[in-house]
Amino acid sequence: MPETEESQPTAPPRWSLYGDVPWRLLMGGVRACPSWLEMPHIAGWSLLIFLLARSQRRAVLGNLKALLPSHSRPVQVWLAWRTFYQFARAAVDGIRFQQGGQVLAWEVEGLEHFEAAAAQDRPVMLYTAHMGSYDSAAAFFAEKMERHFFAVRLPERHPRLQQLREEGLRRMEHGSYTALYNSSENVLGVELLKALQRRDWVALQADRALRGLSVLPLPDGTKTWLLPKGPFALATASGACCLPAFVRRLGHRRYRVTFHPAFLPAIDIPRAEAAAALATRWTALLEKVIIAHPDQWLIFEPAFAQ
């Protein structure tokens, strides 16, 4: 159920993982730390947070168990720690990018799928996941496109952290790139629909549904995905071409963006059924990508129904 104004949770403490204090400390540490000392510092702090962040650790382990049931418990624990480590590396890379300079190297795979979608005279939505440095990739690709590019984010849980993140994202924005926050599904949906009708591009992370979002439960064998309903409803309402794109970290400040063949929403069935069909195609691809690179799926909340 979406949260009402009366049921909005109170902001977490500033010093918690969802507060602004850890992020401010991280930003200061990145500025002060030489590049050659990054890796050991990130590894040590990632391990400490992995041990202390009980609910996040359990969520990652639960997601891995749902996707990789044949893996042994020690392997799942190792991959869970690697998830924390990959998140920290991507966060540090994103801060370096926001602080200025072309510090990240990019590779592109499946460019023909990107070009095929761009050549169509119809709206285009990029479906992506919580992998790699999402904000940096959005800003990078916006510079290569001839249309305006909107990247949708979920607001942070603490207002001070939200303000801090907005300041960082504004440094990456330019004439063809804008970051939007999903603070109201109805208002944002209308705004994005208008953008798609103008043939602007919209990028959404379609792999989790959290606080305040309408949920699309999608049964899939022994598990049930908990997806945001918005990306699929918006595609069916606009008739957009849905272009899957995944960002993967390859090494020290090196990333690869992989585009996959686009798919279109069905027009000869009710919209609810068309949205569910889109979600089914998306999760089939998403699951393959995650299984190939399980430590790069940076989700720290349960992604499946318990």
CB 232 within 8 A of CB 216: yes
Note the pLDDT tens digit of each residue in 242-278.
999 999 999 989 999 999 999 999 989 999 999 999 9
**Amino acid letter, residue 175:** G
Q: What is the mean pLDDT of residues 270-299?
A: 96
Give the integer Cα–Cα distance in Å for 121 and 253.
35
Can you give the pLDDT at residue 149? 82
User: Is residue 23 packed enough to be buried (19+ CB in 10 Å), middle (13-18) or exposed (0-12)?
Assistant: buried
Query: Average of pLDDT values for 281-294?
Result: 97
**For 222-235, how does the pLDDT look when each residue is reduced to its tens digit (9 = 90+)?**
999 999 999 999 99
Average pLDDT over residues 27-32: 87
CA distance 230 to 212: 12
User: pLDDT class for 67, splitting at 50, 70, 90?
Assistant: very high
Which residue in the block uniquely carries the two structure tokens 């962040």?
53
pLDDT in tens, 96-126: 887 776 788 899 999 999 999 989 889 999 9
C-alpha torsion 79→221→248→215, nearest 10: -110
pLDDT at 7 over 60: no
Higher pLDDT, 98 or 44: 44
2 — pLDDT class (breaks 50, 70, 90): very low
Distance CA 120, CA 185 (A): 27
Look at residue 306 and tell me whether its pLDDT is greater than 80.
no
Give CA–CA dist 182/86, Å, rounded.
Answer: 25
DSSP β-bridge partners for residue 125? 202, 242
Length of the chain: 306
- The neighbour count for residue 163, using CB atoms within 10 Å, is 11
